[in-house]
Amino acid sequence: MNSNWKNITNGVLYSFKGGVYPDEHKSGTSGLHSVTLKIPETLVIPLKQHSGRAAEVLVKPGQHVLRNEPLTSPSNDRQVPVHAPVSGTVTAITAAPIAHPGGLTEPCIILKSDPDGSGEEFNNPSYPNYTEVPVDTLLNHIRNMGIAGLGGAGFPTEAKLRSSVRAQNCEVLIINGAECEPYITCDDRLMQEAPEEILRGIDILRYILKPHFTVIAVEDNKPEAIKSLECKIKELNLKDIRVTAIPVKYPSGAARNLIKIITGIEIPYGARSTAYGVVVHNVSTAFSVGEAVLAGQPLTRRMITVSGDALTAKMNAWVCLGTPVSFILSECGYRPPPVPRIIVGGPMMGFTIPHIQVPVIKTINCIIAPDANEIRRTKPQVDCIRCGRCAHACPVRLVPYEIYDYCVNGEFKKAAETGLKSCIECGCCSFVCPSAIRIVAAIRIAKAEVKNEKLKEEKLKTARERFEAKKARIEAEEKARQERKAAALARIQAQKAGAAAPKPNPAAASAASQGAQPLSAADKARLAREKLAALKAQKAGSGNASGSAPETASSSGNSPA
């Protein structure tokens, strides 16, 4: 890092292998000021809106909640809670459809908003003087405010920050404002409209991570955003921070690619960037961190891009999390084409949803409603011709067609050995494939299968451990029972033996004890003399007693009358 230090501070750029140059389609929304959509009557709030497991539910049906009130509670640093975007009543906690290409359902909280949904607010703590607050307190607060990465991955922000704090080696903090995906302009508008709030959030991240230098990376097709941030940096007189304009190339916004562009370091897959002293956070995440710490505002809304020629009004809109896509489309004047389809996310990494009743969550940054001719439908798939275009376009240095073959044949172990986990699903391979092979779709399915197999193994392991623990407990209880039974039987037998034995005779016992020891001749003679003396004394006593009776009678007869 030291060798690149001067280049980083001066904004010298590097490049990454592969990548593509799709049409941007950003002009329709990049110049439009953001709007705030009204609150829908019903919100569908999934319990899990981040990578990881859902937190524990705190509410129950029929309960009234306040705006910004936590609805779930995390039990570890890989969980973040969800909060009520509006005040209202919980009508149900049930499985509902989520934004997923397969139309999956997950547990959701159904919230009916009050007529004035922005009414009374739950009092969450805030830390305006954050530089006087311990870092651990700020990290816990960021987790409790439900902050997760808003760039699309949804990784818990607190966990990402804490791992770097523990390492104590953050040299460069990169704020990702590249927004390289076509159509998406919400980060662009955020940088134009709220540069100070973003920089306040970045300053909080700098206080927590203590980097040597901070770079805000923005693609050079966003001149207004770059100008807005640079002016505000000068106005606030911030040091050791700069805005670096990077060339337009997809996927420059991927974290590892962005690190390569800014620092020249290529992070190996399987390694974490924190091990190399680099931390990357999205510009919207920095904005949300600032709101959470300075104002106690949890992550209950986000700006999303709503675009596509099937809409009467395109926009960048602030929407409450849990707002149904159908509600947003109706607000934008959706006119369905003959064969309608709605894409969640960008056209490269996004997917078509089966229906429009799914809610907006933290990781959704774009909704596209194309007309019939706007985004060409994929032509019929044919066999791979081994042209190698996918390998040349892959920014991760993989061989996508080889992974694809393993995936479609169910050889997931071999697919993993050839880099399945390293694939970032950027879609470059499918974009350049002349055979129209659905490479990314197959990889996503394979990843889901691998994940399911892993979950099954974990469940089997847990069940096995529980069975072994139960077996050991039953064996211990049976052993203790047998020991108690044996002890009780021993006591009963001892009592029966004591009752059947004859009572001891003291004289016999004495004689037995004396007989046990043989007497000498002198002792025998002494005992004989003692016995003879005792007999004589007994006879003498008997004679004296018989002679005294007449004398007594005579004396009594001679006494005076």
Q: Please, what is the end-to-end C-alpha distance for the chain in angstroms?
A: 147
Strand pairing category for 301-307 and 366-368: parallel
Q: Which two tokens stand for residue 497?
A: 């033996």
Distance, CA of 352 to CA of 333 (rounded, Å): 19
Please check whether residue 284 is in contact with residue 118, taking contact to mean a CB–CB distance below 8 angstroms: no
- Residues 356 and 370: their CA atoms lie apart, in Å, by 14
Residues 6+ positions from 558 with CB-CB distance below 8 Å: none
C-beta of residue 118 within 8 angstroms of C-beta of residue 67: yes
d(CA 228, CA 235): 11
Instruction: In whole angstroms, give the CA distance from residue 267 to residue 254.
Output: 12
With beta carbons less than 8 A apart as the criterion, state whether 42 and 108 touch. no
pTM of the model: 0.81
Tokens found for residue 458? 């974990």
Q: Name the amino acid, one letter, at 110.
A: I
Question: Computed over its alpha carbons, how large is the radius of gyration of the chain?
Answer: 44
176: closest CA among 145, 146, 198, 207?
Answer: 198
Sheet with 42-46, strands from edge to edge, namely: 42-46, 105-113, 88-97, 64-65
Q: Where are the domains of the chain?
A: 380-483
pLDDT in single tens digits along all 561 residues of the chain: 555 778 888 888 999 999 999 999 998 898 899 999 999 999 999 998 888 788 899 999 999 999 999 999 988 778 899 999 999 999 999 999 988 887 888 999 999 999 876 668 899 999 999 999 999 999 999 999 999 989 877 889 999 999 889 888 899 999 999 999 999 999 999 999 999 999 999 999 999 999 999 999 999 999 999 999 999 999 999 999 999 999 999 999 999 999 999 999 998 877 888 888 899 999 999 999 999 999 999 999 999 999 999 999 999 999 999 999 999 999 999 999 888 889 999 899 999 998 899 999 999 999 999 998 887 766 788 998 989 999 999 999 999 999 999 999 989 889 988 888 889 999 999 999 999 999 998 998 898 888 888 888 888 998 999 999 999 999 999 999 999 999 888 888 888 887 776 655 555 555 555 554 566 677 777 777 777 777 777 777 655 544 444 444 344 444 433
- If residue 318 lies in a helix (H) or strand (E), which one and from where to where? strand 315-320
Could you tell me if 130 and 202 are in contact, meaning their C-beta atoms sit under 8 angstroms apart?
no
Domain 380-483 has CATH 1.10.1060: yes
- The two counts, helices (H) then strands (E), for the chain are 17, 16
